[in-house]
Amino acid sequence: MSQDYGRYELTVRENLLLGLPQAAVERLGDADLWSALSVACADDFVRGLEGGLDAQLGESFGGVGLSGGQWQRLALARVVLRDAPVWVLDEPTSAVDAETEEEIFARLKVAAVGRLVVLVSHRAWTLRGVDSVVVLDGGCVVEQGTYRELLKVEGKFMEIFKNQISEDSAGRKTSAERDYKDA
């Protein structure tokens, strides 16, 4: 999934099935579509659309306008529907809030069992649940290890991480800052 995901002004159903072989389209039922939407935390907003899976999206055709985060979650649901052994996700949650992002990653971890997932992220804390982190700088690998291992080393990952630690609007410490203190 590219960080420049497609916004297809079709129905929700057509968006999800776009690009699948006809045999897969015929095999997949509504339950499969709802399951993929759930993994991407898109099921609630789709249920709220008049027509649900058959709601027309995009204002160009008299459909519903979606936020950037909603379009991004539909694109992620498309990925989940594919029976691919490898998922490449480039900033798959850049347009969603932190709470939704955390929930999406928890659900993706379950859905991705048995697959290789390559996750590209500039937000260090989104890598918390991955098996291995590879840090690139100038196109070269400069560090590799687990999230926890890299938090214990004064390197590029730690530099990125420290620059991203902040407090939320209520002054509470973020989960990233708690990770740093626990390392």
Structural domains of the chain sorted by starting position, each given as residue range(s) with its CATH number in brackets: 1-87 (3.40.50.300)
Digit-coded pLDDT (tens) for 23-51: 999 999 999 999 999 999 999 999 999 99
Residue type, 145: G
What per-residue confidence (pLDDT) applies to 177? 57
Q: Regarding predicted confidence, which is higher, 182 or 111?
A: 111
What is the pLDDT confidence band of residue 70, given thresholds at 50, 70 and 90? very high
170, pLDDT greater than 50: no
Residue 79 in contact with residue 1, Cβ under 8 Å?
yes
What per-residue confidence (pLDDT) applies to 167? 42
Q: Is the full-model pTM beyond 0.85? A: no
Q: Regarding predicted confidence, which is higher, 63 or 166?
A: 63
For residues 146-171, b (16+ Cβ closer than 10 Å) or e, as one string? Answer: ebeebbeeebebbeebeebbeeeeee
Distance of CA 144 to the CA centre of its chain: 22
What is the pLDDT confidence band of residue 169, given thresholds at 50, 70 and 90? very low
Distance set, CA 119 to CA 50, 86, 126, 159, 169 (Å): 33, 11, 9, 19, 28
What is the pLDDT confidence band of residue 174, given thresholds at 50, 70 and 90? low
Residue 151, phi then psi, degrees to nearest 5? -70, -15
1, pLDDT greater than 90: no
At CA 112, angle to CA 93 and CA 66, rounded to 5?
A: 30
